[in-house]
Chain A
Amino acid sequence: MDTIKNNSFVKKVGFNRLVLCCVLVLLYIAFAILSPTFLSYSRILSALNYAYFLGFLAFGVTFVIATGGIDFSIGPVMFASALISGQLLTKSGFPVIVCLLVSICVGLLFGVLNGFLVAYGGLPSFITSMAIMQLAKGVGSVFTKTQSVSWPQEWYRNLVKMKIGNTQIPTGLIILLLVAVVLWAILSKTKAGRYILCIGSNKEAVRLSGVNVKKWEMLAYIICGTCAGIAAIFYVGAYTTVQPGLGDTFNNEAIAACVMGGTSMSGGLASVGGSFIGVMVIALLQEGILAMGFQKDYQYVITGIIVIIAVFADIRSRRKKN
């Protein structure tokens, strides 16, 4: 086991992530065997639809977890963004591009609020983000007067998938990958990312090095909120209708994806790539469970168990290091 772990290729990509890729492949094979219809291209597209918005949610919350915090508001914030911008689109006739921007802005604003309360107000992130989650549910619902919103067929759907000739191209995947690369670059190659990771590892040491930790901690939450706003676009692009008051389950799945992908709940260790693969696993799982005719409940249970196992493994490995 150690020889595998010490191999240079493994080290570069990350043992965790490689295992996860294997899991992904094995899962796919398993589903393909269990359900013959699984091998179709449309299945893959369907699974990817789930992966897009979840992916953005997971990327965003990766930054927050990197600082040692957590954000339970992402799902409902995504919905609030979709509801508010959708309402402007369908009821007030704003142009599509404006509404897309509004969606991103709503997410950003929630991120600002959350970040401010945690970084500057010193409130514990988990209860604060849960409160913000309620706020998001309420705001979205109030804005649309409790009505759900259905986004129309418009050009923005091409962001999710585009028909070229006879085939559907999963453009969403391309965008997701691009954003993943951008966020990965931010996290590992910019000052912001460096500070965010260091804060999660040892906030006081960073403060004593002269860094304004409050500012950078808040930034992580702003990135998270903005990603939720972007996720909204991909959600409506794939699923059309948003209902107020929902969204919690996506929180858990996004967090599960991060934890699976090697992002540590104690902070300081985060991987956008890992979250990406984690999201793929969950999306595949979701699709597979659907394909086999099982209810969503199995997904909830499996995701819950994944979180517990992944966190436990992370704690064990951290303890060994120290």
Chain B
Amino acid sequence: MENNHKKGLVKVVGTQKAVVVVVLIVLFGFFCIMSPMFRQYSTILSILDYSYYITFMAIGVTFCLITGGVDLSIGTGMICCGLVGGYMINVMGMPTIVGLLAAIVVGLIFGVINGTLVAVLNIPPFIATLGTMMVARGIGSIATGGLSQTWPVAGSENGWFRNIFKIDIGGLKLPVGFMLIIVTVIVMSIVLNKTNVGRYIIAIGSNKEATRLSGVNVVKYQMSAYIISGFFIGLAGISYAATFQAIAPGTGAGLELDAIGGAIIGGTSMNGGLGSIVGTLLGVFIMSMLKTGLPYIGLQANWQQIITCAVLIGAVFIDVQKNKKLQ
């Protein structure tokens, strides 16, 4: 009886990542077979390009999900960071580095606000971050005069930051950003598994009361999860600016779903206590691959929304079943 129980759990919890990798490979193979154009290097580049900002958002929101909460403001928040940073560079004439820092600071501010609403005022995370999502949608634009911001282009004096993501060496474009992502994933994995912050975030998601009774400052650490998320929307804003041309105010809503969906597919549970950064990365890749691959097999980009929906519901359903088994 006990052994079967164990087997079932190991199957669902431990090997989810393996399943995700398999799905990823199968998907990739599928698109490659179905469309010769997909097999080109430039395709992989564009898949990666489009995935950087989602990956950063997803890594950040993973921490919130692990506490049993969520951060819905990551989409519009990211755009806000990008707008403020761009504004400082374009309109206020600041050097690029200031713009980069500004983006991160704005993100951190959102993190602190979200953290306070959830951890201190005990407002349910989804409604608290829904509120900040709405505020973020408008406030970035108000603060920066309502215009789209385009960060300095590649090749220009201030455009060096784009090289963090892509380098052009004699016509060959290298997705350096991918290295950056790998490094980030490694670092954040260590933070999650080997630091007090990460450890207590998992503990809070697993059993908040027991964690509190063990003497851990639950408010502080729950808040940290949202601050981490805020930090990453700053990074997401930067990578969005680096890989796209213009950042338009009022956009961003809906992107959070790709990020959250990626995290759930990768094994992070909405109930809390369970999640991995690597899993999130894999989940985001699946979402990105679907997003970019579908046009190559003749499906309009809108189908991607329908398929995202199906995938997300499937992932949530599996998550719910997983939790039922643990009861």
A, B from the same assembly: yes
Give me the interface of A with B, judged by CB distance under 8 Å: 70, 117, 121-124, 126-128, 130-135, 137-139, 141-142, 145-146, 244-245, 248-249, 252, 255-256, 265, 295-305, 307-308, 311-312, 315
Q: How far does the alpha carbon of A259 sit from the alpha carbon of B309 in the complex, in Å?
A: 27
Closest 6 CB pairs of A and B: A304-B134, A138-B305, A300-B138, A297-B138, A304-B135, A141-B302
Stretch touching chain A among B119-127, B150-158, B165-173, B176-184:
B119-127
Q: Is A265 within 8 A of B138, CB to CB?
A: no
* Contact count A vs B, C-beta below 8 Å: 144
Q: Is A301 within 8 A of B142, CB to CB?
A: yes
Given A141-B302, A307-B130, decide whether A297 and B121 contact each other with a Cβ distance below 8 A.
no
- Nearest CB on B from A39, distance (A): 27
Q: Is B135 within 8 A of A123, CB to CB?
A: no
Given A131-B257, A305-B135, A307-B130, decide whether A124 and B309 contact each other with a Cβ distance below 8 A.
no
Q: Is A300 within 8 A of B303, CB to CB?
A: no
Q: Is A297 within 8 A of B128, CB to CB?
A: no
Q: How far does the alpha carbon of A117 sit from the alpha carbon of B312 in the complex, in Å?
A: 12
Q: Is A301 within 8 A of B312, CB to CB?
A: no
Interface string of B242-255 (1 = CB under 8 A from A): 00000001100110
- B interface: dominant SS: helix
Pick the residue among A132, A142, A255, A311 that contacts B302 (CB under 8 A): A142
29 inter-chain pairs at a CB distance below 8 angstroms, sorted by A residue, are A70-B127, A117-B313, A126-B70, A130-B312, A131-B312, A131-B316, A132-B309, A133-B254, A135-B310, A139-B306, A141-B305, A249-B137, A255-B130, A265-B127, A295-B138, A295-B142, A296-B138, A296-B250, A297-B137, A297-B250, A298-B142, A301-B142, A304-B133, A304-B136, A307-B127, A308-B123, A308-B131, A311-B123, A312-B117
Q: Is A301 within 8 A of B270, CB to CB?
A: no
Is B317's CB within 8 Å of the partner chain A?
Answer: yes
Q: Is A304 within 8 A of B137, CB to CB?
A: yes
Q: How far does the alpha carbon of A59 sit from the alpha carbon of B136 in the complex, in Å?
A: 26
* B127 contacts across to A, CB distance below 8 A: 70, 265, 307-308, 311
Given A127-B260, A134-B305, A312-B123, decide whether A141 and B300 contact each other with a Cβ distance below 8 A.
yes
Is B141's CB within 8 Å of the partner chain A?
Answer: yes
Q: How far does the alpha carbon of A245 sit from the alpha carbon of B303 in the complex, in Å?
A: 12
Q: Is A142 within 8 A of B306, CB to CB?
A: yes
- Nearest CB on B from A212, distance (A): 21
* A303 contacts across to B, CB distance below 8 A: 134
Q: Is A297 within 8 A of B249, CB to CB?
A: yes
Q: How far does the alpha carbon of A128 sit from the alpha carbon of B302 in the complex, in Å?
A: 19
Interface string of B102-140 (1 = CB under 8 A from A): 000000000000000100011110111011111111110
Q: Is A304 within 8 A of B138, CB to CB?
A: yes
Pick the residue among A244, A249, A311 that contacts B131 (CB under 8 A): A311
Q: Is B123 within 8 A of A315, CB to CB?
A: yes
Q: How big is the B interface, by class?
A: 35 or more
Q: How far does the alpha carbon of A121 sit from the alpha carbon of B324 in the complex, in Å?
A: 12
* A131 contacts across to B, CB distance below 8 A: 257, 261, 308-309, 312-313, 316
Q: How far does the alpha carbon of A101 sit from the alpha carbon of B307 in the complex, in Å?
A: 27
* B8 contacts across to A, CB distance below 8 A: none
Is B304's CB within 8 Å of the partner chain A?
Answer: yes
* B312 contacts across to A, CB distance below 8 A: 127, 130-131, 134
Q: Is A128 within 8 A of B313, CB to CB?
A: yes
Q: How far does the alpha carbon of A244 sit from the alpha carbon of B253 in the complex, in Å?
A: 14
* B93 contacts across to A, CB distance below 8 A: none
